[in-house]
Structure 1
Amino acid sequence: MKLGNEKYKYIFDEILKMTDDGFIVVDEDGIIVDINNQYCDFLGRTKEEAIGSSILNIISNSKMVDIVNKKYHEFGMIHKFCKGETKEVENDFLLVNRSCVTDEKGKVIAGVAQVKFRLQTLDSAQKLMREYSELQYYKEEYNKIRSNSHSFDVMIGKNKNFISIKKRAMKFAKTDFPILITGETGTGKEVFAQSIHKNSIRQNKPMISINCAAIPHDLIESELFGYEEGSFTGAKKGGKPGKFELANEGTIFLDEIGDMPYDMQSKLLRVLQ
């Protein structure tokens, strides 16, 4: 579908409403043909006052006439307004990009300028810096927790059996073999699994933990192996990757595997082999 010129005008007007920047468009004679509300507010003018007037009547030291006459562009320039030509006396300069607009034959048909309001630009920059700082803080805290919480170094215990199991786990972490960890509920099987992953060559890859007892029996297969779109009624559009696919090149921890149906345990055996 090809959009007509009238539709482009609506689209262009909507873009000018959404932006925080000021925009002004002049024809080849320097007559203002469009200006957005943000720029009007900065200048202390109405659209009715601006449109149809020479830009030099609104901004007496504007370079837009020169831009369209000499066909050039300039970016990141500072423009200082003449006294009395802005709404606020102390807010009299801003950052501007200017450009001529040519048609397919290279003929100048308009000039356009984009201005960056100082206070809005500063507010946006400060907001981004705050968000970036927060993100960096949480990233660093996450890395600290990730590196310290699941490590053999922080496991405390003097029991000979515990020390022996810990040493064996550290040894197993250097292999690619499937590892069976047994023990009563609450004895720290997942802590050992996470420490093994943390000390393996896969430590920078994902570790996916699954409580096999918490997944309904009829959903276990799709959870572990995923499914394609349209595989069954209610299947998500686009399908869904299984936990084994998500854990590719990393580690998958199957907790309470003894509560999994026997037919699924046999399928898992094939995967592990």
Structure 2
Amino acid sequence: MAWVPESVESAAGDDDKVYLFFTETAVEFDCYNKLVVPRVARVCKGDLGGLRTLQKKWTSFLKTGINCPVLNSPLPLLIQDSYRWCDNNLSWKECIFFAIFTPQSETSDVSAVCAYNMSDISRVFSEGKYKTSVNVETSFVKWVMYSGEVPVPRPGACINNEARSMRITKSLDLPDRTLQFIKDRPLLDQAVEPVSGEPLLMRRGAAFTRIIVNQVQAADGRKYHVMFIGTEKGTILKAVNYDGEMFIIEEIHIFQTPQLINILMFSTATVL
């Protein structure tokens, strides 16, 4: 889960957002077996719920797929952890989410890291089409892209200047038509794609469990992203993104007896 200050210098008077990364059983695929897929969801920070519809529930909850394509993987990889990296000197639109994915099938042992531009994620949620369910047969429901009229204010959008011009100053003021729409159609049709359309890093062996990312300045004056990745075997991989290609430059064994790394964070302690 990550908070993004999208209200800062927003010409549209937008609200801050909270993004959530998770996995769930898909409803939109025609499969005999249940298929688990990775998702990213967004909620407005100022969401107070609805007055009648969606009382004490999120009125802005939208979700969509998030892809990290790995060649020859029979099933989608599942997201295990994410890390938001931002440059304090730049806009929130320049932030990057780094996420680790692991296979959901024993037929593969490849873990991957994918990166996503904040601007791309925001665009999908702000402009993407919705999915809707239709009854095909008596007991069969199919999910397709919604092509009908979309209510105003846009379902899932935060309270902004456009909404305020309609005397809608909080989610409790949203019309039932907008709320019923988002209640029935919280899933978007377009998935979020990674930077360059492929993983930054793939590795066989111990599954990735946690990730944190920093930016360092090298002797040549250039800045590079450095990833620290925890694994199920208790090791930490240190990888550097050099000219768009990732290199693992160090592998550290943390425990004498291999055990899964559940927590990974940067220390705030000062070394004297």
TM-score normalised by length of structure 2: 0.16
Larger radius of gyration: 1
Structure (1/2) with the larger strand percentage: 2
TM-score normalised by length of structure 1: 0.16
* Higher RCO structure (Cα 8 Å, ≥6 apart): 2
Structure (1/2) with the larger helix percentage: 1
